[in-house]
Structure 1
């Protein structure tokens, strides 16, 4: 039976407006959201260090991991989604009320590449080396919890500029056999350490799978059902993901971890419905966004092994990305 906290999240996810679903997170019980102290803009960089990058009031911000309740640096760069690794960042940025770009940033937040994308920004990732950049947008519908949505997921090589506009161009093997269907959607890419292998979610015919992809071969193959928004652990052995309750997204999602060697799934101690692509703070801890009843986002963390309890990390923020 779902907790009251989870039921609130699921109900809100089914009725929330388009603007909130562009942020891509379910609504849960209210959290405190104190106004953060703000440091000088010049302090915001993507250089590796013990800091957490996030979006605060649609702007890039960083906070020291040792003092997340302390002053945070906020840039004037506007982003709806952000992620960074290896000194490279990706910002899904508005160019007008209903048009958006993928903006690749260097460590000093200088744009190095721009790409117009259709739809509403939803997910973003950068490989650990900083070379590969991915994004997902909603191009039809506005929620993963229903069947009437459509996504567009692509990625680019920040070194060469080579771009895959949509993963739907890739050849698919489902359960070991070639597969084609007009209703295929992909979302939530996460890269392996070699900058070629990746994982993502594929949906088709009312089902959702974790798929493993090969960027050079332009192929994907299914791995396991009911795995959405994967996030590969730093050691490449586990995938954090959102698992639909009873395989039904309308009932919400449980933040869980899949061991890729044994295929064993461990549910985390977070019982609220987490509609996010979690980030690994380190090899043992996940960070993710939840929204309160007032619509304000907060970044939370929870151990990946199912122990402990959720902990508020960064109030009034979303789209967490560790810069360590």
Structure 2
């Protein structure tokens, strides 16, 4: 029986691995987004690898499908950079990520036909409507089986001609990074995210706001998913968090690297994104990383100087 059980587990592992590869391929090829100017932004993924990171990590299951994603879209005079984290775990998060990407593709196709450039809040409201429509259909079929989880996301809208930037958030913040400091706009808050409805009788208000950003003293916009913020390690039996302090320290370190020329031929945005990942790896090195708060991580950095030029 033990041998059969092992074989079944191995078969499940292989099926999930195949699903993970399919998920990644679909996302790259179908939802890769529009082409945009080289150097405008950079994205870096990170996940805990005990062997490569020289850390220890107890895992009940070592194969996961990430829920973090980013998309780049164009509409008329605007560039949209959308960063999201499909909540949930394993195969469900991967499927939810593709669902969100498909919905966003439909949303931008619709606006392209109307020859309109939507606000970021309008994009999020349309995405919320997609979740409501699909979730309500599931509840009509069986009110005891609502769909679960949702997505935390942020939409950055850049209008290069006007040198204007706005953002609209549903559970993810951004950081303005410049020579005079780092400013957080918004919060990490799952309660502000987009979720499937849990009942046909209860309607949860969803009113995201478009926030104009004063970017006169801002060089970069950085968005990290909550895997960075929530990352923990165990030191002498006590948990320590990477948190916002770790994010800010990494961003400050990235600015220092650029000033000293230690960029290894990377674009400025790539230097910042890579520094965030390197800081998370350094935080993990030599320590036990609890599984509970060890989510996959994504850092997306926009170089506004490249946007204006």
TM-score by length of 1: 0.29
Q: Which has the higher contact order (CA 8 A, sep 6+)?
A: 2
Greater helix share, structure number: 2
**Which of these two proteins has the greater Rg computed from alpha carbons?**
2
TM-score by length of 2: 0.30
Greater strand share, structure number: 1
